[in-house]
Amino acid sequence: MKALAIDTSNLVMGIAVVDGEKVIGEYTTNLKKNHSIRVMPAIHDLMKEMNMKPAELDRIITAKGPGSYTGVRIGVTIAKTMAWTLNKDLSGVSSLEVLAQNGKFFSGYVCPLFDARRTQLYTGLYGFEEDRFQAVKEDRLVLRSNWLDELKRLEKRILFLGNDLDLHKKSILEELGDQAVFGSAADHNPRPSELARIGIEKEPESVHHFVPSYLQLAEAEVNWLAGQKK
């Protein structure tokens, strides 16, 4: 199966082209630059390098968030459109699950995270269970302090991954001490080839119904709902 994987959900932009088990092309940048301008040229260039036509793809895979609302919509829109118009399968993978793969051989738990402002995190917990590396605590938007409390009770070593760790490392160490382990630079960039690997195995999504996992409502919607309850 030939697949194109696209991740524009956070600062790291990644594209991969795989042919079955084989990763034949992968492109990653970690830049504060506009994904909307850069991602389509990157897809074009990588596919050209692979000498592959869009119609040859069997599946389009996208990171579905959480992350930047605008960012995730760019990848999701491109993936939905390509899958729909070429009549190919579409699959979506949690952006946190993709990042967690960088710690899949760690013996404890793996905690991928993206900063969600106001000391909140987009995060989840992953580890080996039932012979499979998978989510052990589902993805969520959570206050950092609450999350660290929860992790502390697990009494197991936890590997933290993500480029936003600079903002949270101090608090994590204060709360978890030796229980916390940190990846190094290369571990913090989610790899599009991992996105592709997971995406290939997923059940295809319904293209028309597929939407990003924002993990929270739009702010106006939250306020409106609060107003309704009064």
Partner 1 sequence: MKQDEMILAIETSCDETAVALVKNGTEIMANVVASQIESHKRFGGVVPEVASRHHVEQITVVMEEALQMAGVTMDDVTAVAVTEGPGLVGALLIGVNAAKALAFAHGLPLVPVHHIAGHIYANRLITEMKFPLLALVVSGGHTELVLMKEHGSFEVIGETRDDAAGEAYDKVARTLNLPYPGGPHIDRLAQDGAPVLNLPRAWLEADSYDFSFSGLKSAVINTVHNAAQRGETIKPEDLAASFQESVIDVLVEKTARAAREYDVKQVLLAGGVAANKGLRAALEAKFSGLPQELAIPPLYLCTDNAAMIAAAGSIAYQKGKRADWALNGVPGLDLEAQ
Residues 172-211 that bind partner 1 (CB under 8 A): 207-208, 211
> How many chain residues bind partner 1 (CB under 8 A)?
34
**CA triple 222-211-22, angle to 5 deg:** 140
Closest CB 51 distance from partner 1, rounded Å: 15
Cβ contacts of residue 8 below 8 Å, gap of 6+?
35, 39, 63, 71, 72, 74, 75
Q: Is residue 219 near partner 1 by the rule CB under 8 A?
A: yes
Using CB under 8 A, which of 14, 162, 199, 212 touches partner 1? 212
Closest CB 160 distance from partner 1, rounded Å: 29
- Listing DSSP states for 10-52 in one string gives SSEEEEEEEETTEEEEEEEEE-SS-HHHHHHHHHHHHHHHTT-
Closest CB 98 distance from partner 1, rounded Å: 20
| Residues paired with residue 30 on neighbouring β-strands, in sequence order | 12
Taking the C-alpha atoms of residue 220 and residue 223, their distance in angstroms, rounded to an integer, is 5
Residues 27-86 that bind partner 1 (CB under 8 A): 34, 36-38, 40-41, 43-44, 54-55, 69-70, 73-74, 76-82, 84-86
**Residue closer to partner 1, measured from CB, 86 or 173:** 86
**Residue closer to partner 1, measured from CB, 166 or 221:** 221
Taking the C-alpha atoms of residue 59 and residue 142, their distance in angstroms, rounded to an integer, is 33
93 phi-psi bin (left φ>0, alpha ψ -120 to 50, beta other):
beta
Which residues are at the interface with partner 1 (CB under 8 A)?
34, 36-38, 40-41, 43-44, 54-55, 69-70, 73-74, 76-82, 84-86, 207-208, 211-212, 214, 218-221, 224
